Structure 1
Amino acid sequence: MFSKLPFIQTHHAGDKYIFWLDLTSSHYANEATQWLRPHKIQFIPKEVNPLNILKVQPIEGFRSLLVNKNFTLRFGAKDEFSFDETVDISVYVDYSELRKSADCIRNWSEIFRKCTACGKEKLGERSDDNHLEKFSLVWLGANADVQKNQEMKRKLRTTINHCKEFDDADECKNYIEQTSKDDRLVLLISNQLARQIVPSIHQLRQVLGIYINSEDKNNDEKWSREFPKLKGVNVEFNELISQINEDHSNQKKMEEPLWINMFTTIDDAGKSTTGINGQFVFSQLLIDCLLRLKYNEMDKNELISCFEKECKGNQLELDRLHKFQKEYSRDKVLWWYTCDSFFYKTLNAALRKQNIHMMFLYRSFIIDMYHQLEHYQSKSPVRVYRYQLMSIDELSSLQKSIGQFVSVNSFLSTTNQREIAEFYMGDRTQQVDLERVLFEIIADPKVVMTKPFADISTLSHFADESEVLFMLGSIFRINSIIRDDEQVWVIEMSLCGDDEHSLKHVLGDMKRKIGAGETTLCTLGKVLWTMGKFDLAKKYYTRCVKELSHNDPLLLIAYDDLANIATQQNQYEESIQWSQNLAELKERMLSNDVVKTRETIISIHFGGLKATLTIFSLNGYVLNKLLDF
């Protein structure tokens, strides 16, 4: 039932929950009402705008109810989420509507924080704060002077664009704990709240560094010495900003989230599209599909709009964005990728998080990078290096995979100068529960088939770093892992071709089903559908429908697949609607006068589904035949 409710908002009044049902048909609103009333849950009729009510609360309070009843709550646009067959009902909430009210962000009550923590394991990590970059600044105890506060924030955002402010230590702690371990947080805390929060969050992987704006520097420095992540204690705010900026220039190079996907060569392991090997096959298939998917200005404009929204209020980044729009050219793509701007930050974050829609919007630039790497492909074997801080668990997983394969989930930046990589290693005493790792990679261009690599020193913004860049999706074999005399783990890997791993037959078969040549939005939808990402698949099928002319034969596939996906999700009314659209399209195509003048044969193959429409004229009579629908 609730999967049909596009929007649900909540308000907390005393100990009562109030729900608002908006943009919901009367049929489903009535069903929702019948469920809410027996549970003594109040609601606001859809005709009333809850944004007029003070202290509107986000949907978090609904979590505990759902968890106890084996429901799943999902944030964000409905199209963004995969169908989950392990739960009875999925509730989808478009959080962008909530964010329209500043009160929704500011007024988090204690009961909602507890509900959030209660449902954390079941419901996954927080996703109501979906920024595009992996680094964020968390500011606890901002200055009460609003004007001064805004000026400080402006300065901070010149280093790290995304800034989240808190006044309450518990609320801040909850936010940090729910942040993905793959994200990186830099914390700025006033000295009044530092002792309250630092001990409880210091050990978290996502916490990169902590800085204290102190009124009693000597006293705060004494107790803070036991916390290695505490990088600075300063009275002057400008001094803190300078230190954060200096530290971050190195942090962003060595504190990348783990950039590899592991897969195994165990017999028959590749036959499943789930699990580790399934993820590998899917990522390779997705890259292949996106590289062959034609792009248009509408997609580029949508991407630019995302950047503008992300950088709102950050004039430095907005100026860079406008310069990018004005000066970008395909032959300069690697220069833009290597300079310190939104382009590098957001692209890598999207790739590592597997944010498929951002990858889709970014595909024209990914294609440009592919062609540049292909054009400047290294002609002789190289030995390159990359430094990485890694958790003990991450290192352990690699140690168990010696002789196995890994693929990179982003463009892989390396250097052919070992001393440059070692320069970023830093002091061992400054690391907390992290191991220093040096990747030593041997790459022979003879094995390159579809994933090029190149020395981009002459094309890079930083020519002195001797950078060698590997294509997104490159595959490597782990040869050995040893610990040297400097207590650095050295992981030797070698670049592999597409035909060297045991999943080549599975991957090859799936690529053949996609077909050669240019792919379409229907192709992308099918890839996502195959991998069980039903709602995301529907998003691109629907996008395809909107972009096609009303008699385009590709609509036959789109309508049919949309009907089948809806059926698999038990959304039968939606399935019937798409089936009706399909029937109407067939009738329209059969009655089209154009078919009376010539023979048209349209064959579309994808996976196990085949659609063939043959229309031809004979002796003045029109004979129309539909096959396999």
Structure 2
Amino acid sequence: MGNQTLTTIAASGTVAINTTTADSTAVLPRPVRRVLQNFLLVWLDANIDESNENFKKPLQCLRRIVATITTFTDVDECIDFLSGIQNEKVFMIVSGVLGRQIIPDIEACAQLESIYVFCDNQSIHEQWTKTVPKVKGVYTQIEPICEALRIDRENCDRAMISISFNGIDALFMYTQLLKETLLDIEDDDAKSIREFVDYCRLQGDIDENHIDKFEREYRLHTPIWWYTGPYFIYSMLNRALRLMDVDIILKMGFFIRHLHQHIETLHREQQSTNTMTSTLFQVFRGQGLSIENFEKMKRTKGGLMSFNNFLSTSCNRNVSLEVFARPAAFAGPYSVGILFVMTINATSCKKSSIAFVDVNKHGQKTLPPNHPDLASSYNNIGSVYDNMGEYSKALSCYERSLEIRKMALPSNHPDLAASYNNIGMVLDNMGEYSKALTWYGRALEVQKATLSPNHPDLATSYENIGVVLDNMGQYVEALSSYERALEIRKIGRPSNHPDLADSYNNIGLVYNNMGEYLKALSSYQRSLDIRKVALPPNHPDLATSYNNIGVVFKNMGEYDKALSLYEQSLEIRKVALPSNHLDFAQSYNNIGSIYKCMDEYLKALSYYEKDLEVSQKALAKNHPDLGKSYNNIGEVYDKMGEYSKALSYYERALEVWKIALPPTHPHITVVNGNIENIKKRL
């Protein structure tokens, strides 16, 4: 990401801007100590035993992310602990059984940031957690929890900076005065560093290895390196500034002074060499705000806001929006995603005491180029681009991640299989089916070499291969792959397990594409029967089943039955899902398609426009699914004889697909044909 983002840091520790409103650490049972970080990790499990081998590996993994883990086996004690938290955000790991018991009592807790359900039976607990926004996922292994926790921790630190919404308020002035005092202090840096390190060790809230590294290597790296690196400095300093914890601010005074001086020095160098080439330029910052702070911000329209810290921003709007702001918007009902857009006048800043630097041009590097953690970072960025529909960028990130993993890991490491799988997934989305099949095959080979013959991950790989073969029109081969996945799941799962329903659903998809509609209905019905037994009555997967059966009836020309099933699917989604969920776009699209088939074009247009409205809110502006929405609306206008409007929507679809898809993709061929036909009529 270093080549994609320009980061600036305000050296003064406070920034005021005009505002506008736009559309080997210990695992402690009950610690009573000074908290130095913005977050706490709580683990609730009736069977937790720190001496048990089943818990040692998870604890080791989690310690790399959060130094101190507070464990509980009793629900009431855990609730008492959470109710006493005021200034920190809480990440919580909970077993499936106790999660079901405690979450209704704690989900409204403002300090509870994220919940990760850690259990043996993923599908059962996914049923009730889908309606709890703070549940980030249901996991059967600790590694994906660690990865999710790493990302959520970064977002938490980012969101918990100190912002004043009352213009130049008391906090802003106190911070300025304290900063100026610290900058004037001349003390013994060596002594200050030693006292700071000793203080951190006494608190027990920071990874001992990170403290040792700081003590041993402080002079070997720049202050910006320490501030932007994956250590405790950023979180600890910003927490102290947010709470005006003078004790910690004074103990970190030497670092604040060094960081300020370093930024000022770089600022002068970059200004003199015209590193900032433009007089005016924009930077962006994405983060979450609480509902309370969001309301305060809206009331400051036309006034001043102040960021009372060393502020980090980016020149890449998409990264700020998709990596930080958009996830905050979907974090739950208590969070609002914000994208700050700041216009910097470099000429005016020359007269200001506030310095800023382009950190990337300073060449900050926190990890060696082939470190496995960098592979994870590239993988995460790739996932963001993938969700945005920017498949070429996603592919580039996934390939970089793979390069690092190949150098750092043995040839049959599971992370390599994950990389092969991710690359295959993007290529499938791009319509590069042969290439996708090759990469999925590589993932499968690694899994065959490292996993038991009936491991669930093998079933997932066979399903992925089946999807590609289905897209290629190789239906017999796709059916064989899906049936292999079903065989594995029958061995490891009970007969009414939801995973079996997924397999029957996929087999139904193939039969539908083969035109064998009765067999498709049979498979879809088996999937629906299992889901009715295994899932609650308004589970989203039931909506999927009714939707898919509706597709078959549509293909059979039984439009009334199809419409009834689509509407039944939509009603479940209205109960089970938030109003901006992308599944609504599918429902509106399918209902619109039925009305189009029935020649009721105005109704079709109404539902297609609802589909587009949801998609525009949920997807990036060049996501290929938006192209589908534009194309569908164009087809309705085409049917209605409104050729100018049809042409406009076809061209918008083509514009999106040209950016998101390779030039040989079938969607581009279809819309080019539509445009050519329309132009003949105009």
TM-score, normalised by the number of residues in structure 2:
0.44
Structure number with the higher strand fraction is: 1
TM-score, normalised by the number of residues in structure 1:
0.48
